Chains A and B, each alone.
Chain A
Amino acid sequence: MDRLTLTQFVALAVVLAALVRWLPGDDPSKDPLGRGAPWLAIELDSYLEGLRATEPDAPQAYLRGLRRLDTDAFFRYWSRTLRDVRKIQAEAGPETFVQFKGMSRNEQWQLRYDLYPIPTTGAFYEDGGSEDDPTLPGATVMVSRLIASQDMDPEDRKKVMQASLERGNRK
């Protein structure tokens, strides 16, 4: 076989591999060829457009929970939290600041982005912060109910993290 034929063979493999993803399939994660993955993306975007029609923050809330083990619980949690954020932003004055209680570091960081430029404070859960932290004078308090009730038992948390890593490794 000459070089040109071999090159054409490899090119054909590239085209076929790209095409096969567009074949209908039920669950790309269980299919070694990942059939149906582009259709899932199209479906997801259509779903998000529908969600936005009902509530502007709903797509954001849905996506933040999408890769978690308990997608529905995270969706509900973030919907409620982002509603709270909008309310705080609407009522904010020059003195307003938000105190997080019992929230993990990563959740606080995401909410800092959501709330910016409103100042925030609060000890991370990982550093011993809890719902029982004393409230600072004038603070608007935000508490992470979801994390407190579900993820924060140390053993459960390890399980969740381990499962997440294994899922990442498996792809």
Chain B
Amino acid sequence: MALVASLALALLLGHLLDRALFGDPAHGLIDRVGRALMLGLGTLGLVSMLVDALGLGVTRGSVFGGCGVVLLLCALAAWRQAAGQPAAAASRSGAHEAAPLDARQRAMYVGLLLFALLGTALAVRSGWVRPTFQFDSTTRWMFKTKALHFDRTLLGPISTDPEFGLTHQRYPPLVSHVSNVPLLFEGRFDDRLASSIYVWFGVALVAVVYGALRRRTGRLCAAFGAMWIAQLPLFSYVFAPPPGAGAASAMADVPLALFITGAALAAADGVEGRRPRAHLEAGVLLGFVLLTKNEGMAFLIALCLGVLLAAPRARWRRVFGIGALGLLLFTLAWGWIASGLPVTDEHYPAQLNLAALERGLGRLQIIVPRFLRELTDFSAWNVTWPAVGALLLVAGRRCWRLPVCRLLLVALVVQMVSYLLAYVVTAWSSPAAEVISETSAAGDPVSVLMSVSLGRLFMQVAPLAIVLALCASPVETRPSG
């Protein structure tokens, strides 16, 4: 019940926020639920983080009170909008008339949707049945959730005492705050309950991609995109390696993939002028990206560069608007707190300098082959990466000519280059890596780090790559209902 109540709160919060701030661009139930979950889960975490940053104590009263204020403001704004612009609402709902599918297309559409549902259901069941057990999950995300439950804050010893350095104290903790919400409803700590909310970021991801593609390319392509993501082995059913890549693993990679994809799609809508306030949505979602994982900082650069190269006019103003809003949310909820917290060996921005790059260049002979092996690993990705490459090749110049594709392509490439650079400069080590280094021919801990993390990093951008490939493809380009 606590999980259902948390999801209901997220849906309500997200839907009202969507209507009040972003003009509710969704078409159909799946799109609407996906957007509501994405915005709602992010907002729940943000409210809880702001409550903590203000020193109010993360309790049932403070968090649900904060959510109540947001709900009230959103409801008022949505009501005023509906009262003031009935014609706009009516025209919006009828903006895209249904392009009817023939019998064969309808059968394919239903089949693809059912296959997508199967993959998603598998992940949801695993998320409910499996307790948190992955090393990184228990020692970082769930550890912080547990501390939030018992201490009512993340500003205490868990974040400041070097003894708790194992939790990676500077890591942005949005997902830990979200997984604390079911515990606020339940009133007692239950790690299975707390971790079971993670998989719903994955559900939202599948639905958001479906919705965005449906509005851009049509129903059939949307169902195909949803199926592609929901049936990614690492997303829905492959257990390991690498540990923790799946939607059910209580790790922050799938939540990050959701916010990255959502932010990029919103920015693309804004660049193309498809709907008003898309840039505002991109900025808010970029804030969620920054609050979810350290990799979000690289995506800030990736997205801004994408917008800069794709926007037809007012480029710098758009970039500044999206970037500044994202950074503002990050700074208010976490950035100013994190600047005073201990640094770990995985604080990559501090390690990225010319000397470190020069030192680590030799590692490319380990890193590049490993990247290529991951891209062609059928057991983890099926044929995803070769298929994305093939679709981009077939699309040819469309990849660069269409603003949406240019934006997504630049964001994807910059993000993946940032992963490569992180491996080049990393100072990561662990007892396991030291043992390996003694015996391994490569003799470099980075090979150990890549074996446990590369699949997770690729999971963060796989949906973006799939959306890019489908947007560039010469398939249906007519919006359909």
Contacts and interface: CB of A to CB of B under 8 A. Distances in A.
A10 B394 contact: yes
Contacts of B150: 116-117
Contacts of B125: 42, 45
A69 interface: no
Contacts of A64: 133
A157 B435 contact: yes
Contacts of A10: 387, 390-391, 394
Nearest to B108: A15
A11 interface: yes
B436 A165 contact: yes
A7 B474 contact: yes
Contacts of A4: 474-475
Interface string B281-319: 000000000000000000000000000000000000000
Interface stretch (B53-61, B63-71, B253-261, B372-380): B372-380
Most chain A beta carbons < 10 A, residue from B112, B390, B435: B435
Interface string A32-51: 11100110111011001100
B475 A34 contact: no
A113 B139 contact: yes
Contacts of A157: 435
Interface in B356-385: 373, 377-380, 382-384
A41 B239 contact: yes
Contacts of B142: 113
Interface stretch (A91-99, A103-111, A128-136, A137-145): A103-111
B426 interface: no
Contacts of A87: none
B198 interface: no
A161 B436 contact: yes
A148 to B, nearest CB: 16
A71 interface: no
Given A18-B382, A67-B240, A167-B241, A11 B224 contact: yes
A89 B395 CA distance: 60
A34 B379 contact: yes
Given A105-B431, A113-B143, A3 B379 contact: no
Interface in B420-444: 430-432, 435-436, 438-440
Interface stretch (B178-186, B271-279, B446-454): B446-454
A168 B227 contact: no
B138 A63 contact: no
A21 B381 CA distance: 11
Nearest to A60: B131
B417 to A, nearest CB: 23
A126 B139 contact: no
B153 interface: no
A169 B451 contact: yes
A161 B433 CA distance: 9
Nearest to B433: A161
Nearest to A64: B133
A164 B440 CA distance: 12
Given A21-B382, A41-B126, A168 B237 contact: no
12 contacts: A10-B390, A14-B228, A15-B227, A18-B228, A18-B382, A34-B233, A63-B131, A67-B243, A104-B431, A112-B166, A161-B439, A167-B241
Interface of B: 112, 115, 122, 125-126, 129-131, 133, 135, 138-139, 142-143, 146-147, 150-151, 166, 224, 227-228, 231, 233, 236-243, 373, 377-380, 382-384, 387, 390-391, 394-396, 430-432, 435-436, 438-440, 447-448, 451-452, 473-475
Interface of A: 3-4, 6-7, 10-11, 13-15, 17-19, 21, 28-29, 32-34, 37-38, 40-42, 44-45, 48-49, 59-60, 63-64, 66-67, 104-106, 109-110, 112-113, 116-117, 124, 126, 157-158, 161-162, 164-165, 167-169, 171
